[in-house]
């Protein structure tokens, strides 16, 4: 009887052991399968996103007219004539089926006052575009071609971006390889950089996306997209002294400009009227500031006023050295730069600011006017 019971126990243990081995094997197989599916899905999403957006990405050729002196051989008379010269090659993308195109301001600037803008679609079809407006705040311009039922992109939500997410840059690389594609990740968010164009003109770009997706010369103005085929940024600058360091303007910082163009025919921006620096721990320590986050009103130059004369900021009593740390209960830190938060509002909107002035906290209300 004892022998029989022991035999049953041994059989039971063998059954459990075999079952355990089968479960482990199945899980390992399942993990391998899931890994394969994940890789396949990433590749599939990449291909589908590119195919979705590429038809709406355009190459932009910017022409300007230069003077030259023509000499009439028989008479010896000199005559000033004009000739058209290709000044710049860049990228852009259609945001509507009736022909509105987003690109960088520094791309169209090279055309000067009498610039001409030739647009080449991925299909090979060509147009001449009208310059609608150039943004006074961001490296952004809007062109328009006149046709119907054109391909256009879907705009994503750049506030949902996280470091490490996959992104794809599309553009006219080096001005000769139309709709070239590079892929990388979001390397950082909320960067503040100083960028220069080919003429040496520089400007500060606030709250930009950093990516290691290669942004070549000529990619300027092209879209940075996510794996859903949505535009999350506008490719605008590269770090020439580094490798695989590119920058894009978040698409959410562009939405108001797009809406303004469609509603008013031009880009209308609200103005606060200050010069400021976003505070980090280093700036706070070096300048003995009471806060290590916020927007510190300072121009960095004694000859340039930190609070602009006649601006809403001056009328409300803001002063050099004040730190703005909240706007309508939105904390000014990280991706919420003062510029990006103010641009969520319209001209004429009334806003409330929380200000640190020395050891005092003040609440100041003001009405935004128009940046001109």
> Which is more confident, 284 or 14?
284
Per-residue pLDDT, 317: 96
Banded pLDDT at 199 (limits 50, 70, 90): low
> May I ask the CATH class of domain 270-370?
mainly beta
DSSP codes joined into one string, 327-345: ETTEE-BTTB-HHHHHTTS
Name the pTM for this structure.
0.81
So what's the pLDDT on residue 33? 47
Mean local confidence (pLDDT), 355-371: 95
- Indicate the range of 31-40, 54-63, 144-153 predicted with least confidence: 31-40
Please, what is the average pLDDT of the chain?
A: 86
- Active-site positions? 106, 139, 220
Q: Residue 3's pLDDT band (boundaries 50, 70, 90)?
A: very low
The answer to whether the 55-144 and 157-262 domains have the same CATH topology is yes
* Per-residue pLDDT band at 28 (split at 50, 70, 90): very low
Where is pLDDT greater, at 86 or 20? Answer: 86
Question: What value, to the nearest 5°, has the Cα angle with vertex 138 and ends 132 and 140?
Answer: 35
Residue recorded with tokens 């894009």:
248
Task: Check pLDDT > 80 for residue 60.
Answer: yes
The CATH class given to the 157-262 domain equals mainly beta
Q: What are the residue boundaries of the structural domains of the chain, listed by start?
A: 55-144, 157-262, 270-370
The pLDDT assigned to 12 comes to 52
Q: Pairing mode, if any, of strands 154-155 and 230-238?
A: parallel
CATH 2.40.10.10 for domain 55-144: yes
Beta bridge partners of 143: 101, 131
């Amino acid at each position: 009887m004892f022998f029989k019971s022991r035999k049953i126990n041994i059989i039971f243990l063998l059954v459990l052991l075999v079952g355990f081995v089968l479960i482990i094997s199945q899980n390992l197989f399942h993990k391998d399968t899931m890994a394969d599916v994940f890789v396949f899905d990433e590749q599939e999403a990449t291909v589908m996103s590119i195919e979705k957006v590429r038809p709406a990405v355009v190459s932009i050729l910017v022409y300007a007219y230069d003077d030259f002196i023509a000499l009439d051989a028989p008479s010896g008379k000199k005559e000033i004539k004009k000739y058209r010269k290709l000044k710049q090659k860049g990228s852009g993308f259609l945001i509507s089926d009736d022909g509105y195109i987003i690109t960088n301001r520094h791309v169209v600037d090279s055309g000067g006052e009498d610039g001409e803008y030739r647009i080449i679609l991925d299909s090979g079809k060509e147009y001449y575009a009208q310059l609608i407006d150039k943004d006074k705040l961001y490296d952004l311009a809007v062109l328009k071609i006149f046709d119907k039922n054109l391909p256009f992109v879907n705009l994503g939500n750049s506030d949902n971006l996280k470091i490490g997410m996959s992104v794809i840059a599309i553009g006219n690389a080096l001005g000769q390889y139309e709709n070239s594609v590079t892929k990388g990740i979001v390397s950082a968010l909320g960067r503040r950089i100083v960028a220069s164009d080919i003429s040496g003109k520089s400007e500060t770009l606030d709250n930009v996306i950093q990516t290691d997706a290669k942004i070549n010369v000529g990619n300027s103005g092209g879209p940075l997209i996510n794996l859903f085929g949505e535009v999350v940024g506008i490719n605008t600058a590269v770090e020439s002294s580094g490798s695989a360091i590119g920058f894009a303007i978040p698409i959410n910082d562009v939405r108001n400009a797009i809406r303004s163009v469609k509603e008013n025919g031009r880009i209308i921006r609200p103005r606060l009227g200050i010069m400021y620096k976003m505070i980090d721990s280093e700036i706070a320590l070096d300048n003995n500031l009471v806060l290590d986050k916020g927007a510190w009103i300072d121009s960095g130059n004694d000859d340039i006023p930190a609070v602009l004369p006649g601006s809403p900021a001056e009328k409300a009593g803001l002063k050099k050295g004040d730190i703005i740390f909240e706007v309508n209960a939105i904390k000014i830190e990280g991706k919420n730069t003062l510029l990006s938060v103010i641009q969520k509002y319209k001209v004429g909107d009334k806003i409330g600011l929380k200000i640190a002035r020395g050891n005092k906290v003040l609440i100041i209300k003001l009405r935004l006017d128009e940046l001109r």
